[in-house]
């Protein structure tokens, strides 16, 4: 519906592991951003990429990193997973007038 | 102080009621403003942008007061299907580019 797809939809990892989440944005949307949403909270901005370069970052440690590819896909990588990393991770592509189009998210559980 | 603050609710209202949500933001350099709706366990979806002159979309009216750094959303004749969490979103330009900041959301429950 929004043209933004994320995979996987659900994921279970253990503390200390690494994870890669994927997102495919709408064609022509050069900006992609990633958010972390804990239960009962609003989405928290992790970082943003524009034309394959990071151009904005929220208050997240360096073990959260990302990549954006020329085909409008992107990745969020998290190293050394902690229990508090359990959350819904949302990818959004940015359309005209700063409007965001979200994917349906990846629910990550860290045990 | 949080960059974007909202009353978390929940607001429990009867069908047909009028309900208003407020949101304040701390960064006076904020440039654009939005309301998003999020249903349980789903992704946020854009409800409406908020313009300085105020704007209306059917039963929904959004207002912006830059002097007070305050945004509001009014829902008239509320429907059961309006039950959701409403997220206030503020965009401002930082040294690293545009940054969209979400409030924690206000939960609305419309009841029979």
> Per residue in B36-77, pLDDT tens?
999 987 899 999 999 888 899 999 999 999 999 999 999 999
* Chain B partners within 8 Å of A55 (Cβ): 96-97
How, if at all, do strands B11-14 and B106-111 pair? parallel
- Whether pLDDT at B2 is above 90: no
pLDDT tens digits, A4-23: 999 999 999 999 999 999 99
Distance, first Cα to last Cα, chain A: 32
Residue ranges of A 43-102 with Cβ closer than 8 A to chain B: 43-45, 48, 50, 54-58, 90, 97-102
Q: What is the pLDDT of residue B112?
A: 92
What DSSP assignment string belongs to B22-70? EEEES-TTEEEEEEEEE-TTS--EEEEEE-TT-EEETTEEEEEETTTTE
Retrieve residue A58's tokens. 């929220």
Q: Is B91 on the interface with A (CB under 8 A)?
A: yes
A48-51, long-range: CB < 8 A, 24+ apart: A48/B97, A48/B98, A48/B99, A49/A74, A50/B97
Q: Is B105 on the interface with A (CB under 8 A)?
A: yes
CA-to-CA separations, B66 to A18, A95, B24, B55, B90, in angstroms, rounded: 43, 24, 10, 15, 12
pLDDT confidence bin for B96, thresholds 50/70/90: low
């Amino acid at each position: 519906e929004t043209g933004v797809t994320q995979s996987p939809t659900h994921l279970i990892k253990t503390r200390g592991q690494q994870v890669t989440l994927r997102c495919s944005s709408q064609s022509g949307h050069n900006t992609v951003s990633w958010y972390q949403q804990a239960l009962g909270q609003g989405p928290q901005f992790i970082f943003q990429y524009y034309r394959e370069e990071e151009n904005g970052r929220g208050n997240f440690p360096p073990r959260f990193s990302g990549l954006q590819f020329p085909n409008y896909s992107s990745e969020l990588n998290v190293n050394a997973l902690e229990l508090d990393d359990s959350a819904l991770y949302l990818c959004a592509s940015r359309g005209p007038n700063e409007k965001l189009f979200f994917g349906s998210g990846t629910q990550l559980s860290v045990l | 102080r949080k960059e974007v603050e909202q009353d978390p609710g929940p607001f429990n209202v009867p069908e047909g009621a009028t309900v208003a949500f407020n949101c304040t933001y701390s960064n006076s350099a904020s440039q654009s403003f939005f309301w998003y709706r999020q249903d349980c366990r789903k992704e946020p979806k854009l409800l409406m942008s908020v313009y300085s002159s105020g704007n209306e979309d059917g039963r929904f009216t959004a207002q912006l007061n830059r002097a007070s750094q305050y945004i509001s959303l009014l829902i008239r004749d509320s429907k059961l299907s309006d039950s959701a969490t409403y997220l206030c979103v503020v965009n401002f330009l930082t040294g690293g580019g545009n940054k969209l900041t979400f409030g924690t959301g206000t939960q609305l429950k419309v009841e029979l």
